[in-house]
Structure 1
Amino acid sequence: MNKNERLIIFLLASLNFTHILDFMIMMPLGNYLMPFFNITPKQFSLLVGSYTLTAAVSGFAAAFFVNQYDRKKVLVIAYIGFLIGTFACGLAPSYGLLLAARVLAGLFGGLIGAQVLSIVADLIPYERRGAAMGSIMSAFAVSSTLGVPFSLYLSNLFSWHAPFILVGAVGTVVLFFIIRFIPSMTAHIQQKEESKREVLFSVVKSPQQRLALLFSALMMMGHFMIIPFINPYMEFNNGYSKVQTPMIYLVGGIASFFAAHILGKLSDRYGKLIVFSASLLASFMFIWLITNLPPIAFVWVLVIFGVWFVLATGRAVAAQAMVSNVVPPAQRGSFMSFNSSMQQLGTATASFISGMVVINGTDGKLMHYNWLGYISIFILLCCFLLGQYLFGKNSSVKA
């Protein structure tokens, strides 16, 4: 990548850092919010799922018009709305108002991911896109390595409100640089405006696009099935303290940071489908270990989670690169909005299912968490088979 490309990728990764951190920090706050508001696992899952569900709705709606506008303008407007919602989370005094703030943040947050991926796909040729996607996905690693542990530290030091104020403040700084340095991106705009029906039909009539959207939804559903209750399970069931559990995200984030760059380059060199398949299949054993984990030495907990983070990053980087190549640039904005919407819908579905499956035991421990592991493995196996069909040798989609 040249200097200008690297600057844009860095700024988009910084934006992604705040966007992902806002979503990620809600899940490890479960063991703070459930006793603070005296709510059940099901009510907590609504806090997690409300963001992703509303993001899915806004992402779907945006698909009908984003291709007719400058990608930068759409990104900036969405980011401003997202930051307002994030600050509202940090100021919410009750469960109801926090839920409403998550809905607001989700409505605008649903527009961000698709625009980031569309800008990267427009800017970087497919042959180098794996490495670029790896850089963007490294925002997940940084948010895990620095953002989540520091946010949990602030929660211990002040209150659970503090992390959201932090994300909003950092995002405000990032917004200034996005406005200043990201160029307008209008090359994708067609002279003839597509009707809403044409936008939808272009996806519906294409088997590859339909299957790619299902592929994205299944991958996110399988991944997030076990995430909302990791922290509560580690504390309530296995007895690890609030001081220890942030280390899971620190170690996992460091592992993901290196994995995103290394596996992104490997996917460009050896094939994105190969990296995706190997990472996904290898993750099954670690999903089982995490959801059936007995109280063991905490160093082994960190090892297990570190490997799982690496594998999850590997499959995500390769999958995003493959999916981004399903459509030509003129349709990419709309398709990636649909794709982001399906990812959010998959995440929301996983959150709601996990909230229905996991219940509080009489001794304060969580019950049936291992069931989520089995559901996750089954969904990811379906995703693997679909990926082979969609991006395999006999497919016209280059993988």
Structure 2
Amino acid sequence: MYRPHTRSVVHLALLINMLSLGSLMMVMPLGPDFISALSMDAKNIGYISGGATFASAIVGFLAAPYLDRFNRKHALIVLLTLRFGLTAACMFATSQTHLLLLFILAGCVAGPASGVLMAAVVDIVPANERGKQLAYVGMSFSLAAIVIMPLSLELAHRINWQAPFYIFGLGGLLLALLVLWFFPSMPPTHRVQQGSSPTAVPASVLHDLLASPLFLLGLTIMSLQMFGHFLLIPHFSNYFQFNLAFPRDDISLLYLCGGLASMVTMQLCGNLLDRGYASRTIVVTTLLLAVVILCGFVLPFSLSLYLVFTLFMALSAARSSSTLAITAGIPLPHQRAAFMSYQGTAANVASGLASVASAAYLSTSAEGKIDGFSQLAIASAVFALAAMLLTMRLIPKLAERSRKMAARQTAQTIP
């Protein structure tokens, strides 16, 4: 039905996710700039990213039952306009409190917008191509690291800390216009033909999903992955600069290396998923990630930070995109936007909790260094391994359900 629009939707989804993720991620490496301009405490950077992700989680949860009732195109245009308009408004912040408030308001819209966008992608892309196409969309994380993060650092360095907010905010509004021009109309009536009424009671949508063990397992996996990931991510820039004496001017190059490597690993893993190697992909990427975390941030190895960070970013992105492609098979067509929003809510709650908990756990020494980072690295590796074990349970359960549904459809077609 939407086949002619597949390429334009997938490309736009990549750009939108790249800018949305980048505008959220950039507050972490911009921490030192906030410290000097807004007199912010170094450990409070985690509270900014954590507050935004909590807001995204709460609104995403409340909005999820309603998202499948609207035309995906129209809903996405409204949500993107709000999302990036509020991002641009962050330039007017005059204190850390003002910045936190505006950034949280922008985060409120991020969850529902992401849910609708990813549901549209899953609706359009055929099932046998989802691994590759979702890996392509998943490159938005890497591109955010390659393009948005270094660009935000350069803009803040050469102009001021407000520059990234209004430039990326305006860029997001332009993407909303492109959605208006290039996205196909995706009314809920088309999804009725695949299984459910668009006017279903919102409470029943949540009830149906909560009654599914696969749904709960998928959310648990995503939560564990994101919690472990965000124990470290918000504090990398400060840790590298204050503990490892890494030059401020080279941070953008560090993220560039990590992002380029991530693009390669995600495309490789996407192809492996489409060829049926889901289990091996998850196991290999997770085990290697745990080794990199322990060797890079816990054990006394004198490894290059470029090597450690590049491998960390590449393996994390490959694992995340592979997990997303696997969990995309959990919801039925009429549940996709709700599922994606709930999954985003779980991820945001987990990452927000991790950001806040890690910020509360870490302390600043008299020399200005961050204490306690190695303990967080150990915890991050443990959460990664726990998520891997649960994913190994999910994959055969999804395969079994697919076989049962195929058998049921075959039986119904036989006179």
TM category (shorter chain) comes to over 0.9
Mark the CA change 1:322 to 1:113 in structure 2 (over 3 Å): closer, same or farther: same
Provide the rounded CA distance (Å) in 2 between the counterparts of 1:350 and 1:222.
Answer: 7
In the other structure, the counterpart of 1:364 is 368
Provide the rounded CA distance (Å) in 1 between the counterparts of 2:301 and 2:41.
Answer: 24
> Does residue 1:320 correspond to 2:363, yes or no?
no
> Does residue 1:354 correspond to 2:358, yes or no?
yes
Q: Give 3-state SS (helix, strand or coil) of 1:316's partner.
A: helix
Out of 201, 209, 213, the position equivalent to 1:207 is 213
Out of 231, 235, 240, the position equivalent to 2:246 is 240
CA displacement at 1:250 relative to structure 2: 0.5
Provide the rounded CA distance (Å) in 1 between the counterparts of 2:398 and 2:162.
Answer: 51
Q: Is the 8 A contact 2:135 2:266 kept in 1?
A: yes
Mark the CA change 1:362 to 1:266 in structure 2 (over 3 Å): closer, same or farther: same
> Does residue 1:113 correspond to 2:117, yes or no?
no
CA displacement at 1:91 relative to structure 2: 2.1
Which residue type is aligned with residue 226 of structure 1?
A: L
CA displacement at 1:321 relative to structure 2: 0.9
Provide the rounded CA distance (Å) in 2 between the counterparts of 1:257 and 1:340.
Answer: 22
Provide the rounded CA distance (Å) in 2 between the counterparts of 1:169 and 1:279.
Answer: 36
Provide the rounded CA distance (Å) in 2 between the counterparts of 1:122 and 1:64.
Answer: 17
Provide the rounded CA distance (Å) in 1 between the counterparts of 2:315 and 2:49.
Answer: 23
CA displacement at 1:254 relative to structure 2: 0.8
Give unpaired runs (5+ residues) of structure 2.
404-415
Provide the rounded CA distance (Å) in 1 between the counterparts of 2:45 and 2:258.
Answer: 24
Provide the rounded CA distance (Å) in 1 between the counterparts of 2:300 and 2:106.
Answer: 36
Q: CA offsets, 1:190-211, max 9 Å, x none?
A: 4462212211211221111111
> Does residue 1:396 correspond to 2:397, yes or no?
no
CA displacement at 1:85 relative to structure 2: 1.4
Tell which deviates more after alignment, 33-42 or 235-244: 33-42
Provide the rounded CA distance (Å) in 2 between the counterparts of 1:47 and 1:398.
Answer: 42
CA displacement at 1:39 relative to structure 2: 2.8
CA displacement at 1:376 relative to structure 2: 0.7
Q: Give 3-state SS (helix, strand or coil) of 2:400's partner.
A: coil
Alignment length (residue pairs): 397
Q: Is the 8 A contact 1:90 1:165 kept in 2?
A: yes
Provide the rounded CA distance (Å) in 2 between the counterparts of 1:174 and 1:293.
Answer: 44
In the other structure, the counterpart of 1:69 is 70
In the other structure, the counterpart of 2:85 is 84
Please report the RMSD computed on the Cα atoms of aligned residues, expressed in angstroms: 2.0
Out of 277, 292, 312, the position equivalent to 2:283 is 277
Out of 362, 378, 395, the position equivalent to 1:374 is 378
4+ long deviations beyond 6 Å: none
Q: Which has the larger radius of gyration?
A: 2
Mark the CA change 1:336 to 1:394 in structure 2 (over 3 Å): closer, same or farther: closer
Instruction: Within 5 Å, give how 1:13-52 maps onto structure 2.
Output: 13-52=14-53
CA displacement at 1:164 relative to structure 2: 1.2
In the other structure, the counterpart of 2:408 is none
Mark the CA change 1:292 to 1:158 in structure 2 (over 3 Å): closer, same or farther: farther
Provide the rounded CA distance (Å) in 1 between the counterparts of 2:23 and 2:402.
Answer: 33
Give unpaired runs (5+ residues) of structure 1.
none
Provide the rounded CA distance (Å) in 1 between the counterparts of 2:153 and 2:166.
Answer: 13
Mark the CA change 1:295 to 1:287 in structure 2 (over 3 Å): closer, same or farther: closer
Mark the CA change 1:218 to 1:23 in structure 2 (over 3 Å): closer, same or farther: same
Which residue type is aligned with residue 102 of structure 1?
A: F
Provide the rounded CA distance (Å) in 2 between the counterparts of 1:57 and 1:119.
Answer: 22
CA displacement at 1:31 relative to structure 2: 2.1
Provide the rounded CA distance (Å) in 1 between the counterparts of 2:401 and 2:357.
Answer: 32
TM-score when normalising by structure 1: 0.94
Which residue type is aligned with residue 293 of structure 2?
A: I
In the other structure, the counterpart of 1:310 is 314
Which residue type is aligned with residue 342 of structure 1?
A: A
In the other structure, the counterpart of 1:262 is 268
CA displacement at 1:271 relative to structure 2: 2.3
Which residue type is aligned with residue 313 of structure 1?
A: A
Q: CA offsets, 1:372-399, max 9 Å, x none?
A: 1011111112111111112236863569
Q: Is the 8 A contact 1:114 1:337 kept in 2?
A: yes
Provide the rounded CA distance (Å) in 2 between the counterparts of 1:24 and 1:53.
Answer: 14
CA displacement at 1:296 relative to structure 2: 5.8
In the other structure, the counterpart of 1:188 is 191
Provide the rounded CA distance (Å) in 2 between the counterparts of 1:269 and 1:386.
Answer: 21
Provide the rounded CA distance (Å) in 2 between the counterparts of 1:97 and 1:394.
Answer: 45
Q: Is the 8 A contact 1:273 1:392 kept in 2?
A: no
Mark the CA change 1:357 to 1:85 in structure 2 (over 3 Å): closer, same or farther: same
